[in-house]
Structure 1
Amino acid sequence: MDKPLKTPPPYPIASVDHALRAATILQMEGGATVSQIAERLGVARSTAHRVLAMLVYRDFAVQDEDRVYRAGPVLELAAHSQSLVSRLRAAALPHLHRVVDLLDETTNLIVRTGETARFIASVECRQALRVGSREGMVFPAHRTTAGLLLLADLSDEDLDGVYAPERYRDRPADRPDLSRLRTELKRLRRNGFAVNRERSERGLVAVGVPVRDRDGTALAGLSVSMPSVRYDPHRLQALVTTLNATAHALERDLAEQH
């Protein structure tokens, strides 16, 4: 088994986490108000205001005349029009909440960019022992449930391009074994779902399915994450059935937007 990539720090600093998450929201979605940031972070408006003020001071954010905060010059400026990521997230959130209501496990939406997978939406469950929000976090695609599903949608030629040796000249240990990866992706294509047992984080199991556009291309991955002590392999088919039904409902909503 691959060594898990990310482990939460033993002494997390909430203020730093809030600032990083707020900056990620501005970068991915183009803009937000103090109230919207407060709601997303689960903090008071006064706390959100202080976080945003510091981001502005350090040029990670700017404030428009309409009092909307946007990504600043330090970050890659997000498009002012509604991006694909933003539309995906907005369409997916009601569906993620329904999955949490049904399964009472944290649910996520993930997209792939090159060799990385990014969590663009995450809804936590209500259980005391739960997987926390991964929204805004980035992992190597081959280590995540949804990332593997999105890699499985690539042709062999495209996969070779993503993992071209020259891209890993300075970090050869990060490049996956392509022979093993192709074998795994072939199995995922056949199954239509993926299971991640502590591959990206210790003590975490995730199950995921793809979300496709009208021509069948995988746009994102939909996953449910839970502590490994609560995962029951006998529930796998039920989890996949629920996720597939949710993915199809989201696909219909996205199709109606066009």
Structure 2
Amino acid sequence: MENREQSDTLSSVNRALTLLELLAENSGLTVTQLADRLRTGKTTAFRLAKTLTERGWVEKDEEMRYRLGPALLSLVPPDQLGQGLRHLLRPLLEELQDATGETVHLTILRGRHVVYVDQLISPKPVHSVSTLGGRSPAHCVSPGLAQLAALPSEALDWVLDAALPPYTERSLTDPGAVRAELQRVRQRGFAINRGAYRAEVGGVGAAVLDDRGRPQAALSVCIPAYRMRNDDLTAIGELLKVKVVDAQQRIRLHRRPLTELP
């Protein structure tokens, strides 16, 4: 009996890992397609996908197709995230710093946090510094809000399903309030943080999207709270919108085969 239970457990683990591998190789698969490729029944495939979805390792889109979810990124060490993007987008960070004079960041959404993969520090006497590989709660910082606003509904539901801890009096802790703020982010095309994570620091961020409109990274400008003025924030936000379009074009060209490049 014990050997049989162990065999059943190993079989389930093997199927779950195979399911993840299938999703890594495809842009999205339905339950029927998963069942066919796993050579199992639709009920079994559904249960596997549902379990992985509840853990955030898999997500289901509006077309009922399953894809890899945000929690899988938690398995990747911070120092291995975003190295290619860091090299590719560094010129844009330099342009942003030249234009604003403030600290600029490149971040990647990792589960419920953003990870800092590159930064250029402001030359001004008062500035903010983050640790490369360090994390900030996505719901409290501008690059996090910008990327959350671009997530599919199932992935966003997973992020907001956990408790949202407060860090300052400006932190949003109610999922409904976060959703309302994300709607404002979508409308204007960039996010603004006015001290929701650290009271003395705010910023403006915009998401770099892939061809499906999902977040790959975010560019952001970090500003001491006393230097934040509404007109400046709007101008920085509009500048970021231009830079993320440039970033998306750079990524797109970089991924094309050399024979297709002009």
Category of TM-score, reference length = shorter chain? 0.5 to 0.7
Deviation at 1:156, TM superposition (A): 3.0
Alpha-carbon distance in structure 2 between the residues aligned to 1:86 and 1:103? 24
Question: Residue in 2 aligned with 1:229?
Answer: 226
Match of 2:98 among 101, 106, 128: 101
Q: Which has the higher contact order (CA 8 A, sep 6+)?
A: 1
Alpha-carbon distance in structure 2 between the residues aligned to 1:213 and 1:90? 17
| Letter of the structure 1 residue corresponding to residue 111 of structure 2 | G
Richer in helix (by share)? 2
1:111 is aligned to 2:101: no
1:252 is aligned to 2:249: yes
Gaps of 5+ in 1: 1-75
Match of 2:145 among 148, 168, 175: 148
Give per-residue Cα distances to partners, 1:79-138, cap 9 Å, x unaligned: 9xx966111111111111111111111000111111111111110121111122442220
| Letter of the structure 1 residue corresponding to residue 128 of structure 2 | V
Question: Residue in 2 aligned with 1:193?
Answer: 190
| Letter of the structure 2 residue corresponding to residue 191 of structure 1 | R
Alpha-carbon distance in structure 2 between the residues aligned to 1:249 and 1:238? 17
TM-score by length of 2: 0.61
Identity of aligned residues (%): 28
Contact 2:191–2:206 (CA under 8 A) maintained in structure 1:
yes
User: Which protein shows a greater Rg?
Assistant: 2
Deviation at 1:188, TM superposition (A): 1.2
Deviation at 1:219, TM superposition (A): 1.0
Match of 1:160 among 146, 154, 157: 157
Contact 1:198–1:205 (CA under 8 A) maintained in structure 2:
yes
| Letter of the structure 1 residue corresponding to residue 138 of structure 2 | A
Deviation at 1:210, TM superposition (A): 1.1
Alpha-carbon distance in structure 2 between the residues aligned to 1:77 and 1:162? 18
Give per-residue Cα distances to partners, 1:212-254, cap 9 Å, x unaligned: 1233222111110111111221222321222122211111111
3-state DSSP class of the match of 1:207? Answer: strand
Alpha-carbon distance in structure 2 between the residues aligned to 1:120 and 1:177? 28
| Letter of the structure 2 residue corresponding to residue 111 of structure 1 | I
Gaps of 5+ in 2: 1-74, 167-171, 256-262
How well do the aligned residues superpose, as a CA RMSD in angstroms? Answer: 2.5
Alpha-carbon distance in structure 2 between the residues aligned to 1:134 and 1:96? 16
TM-score by length of 1: 0.62
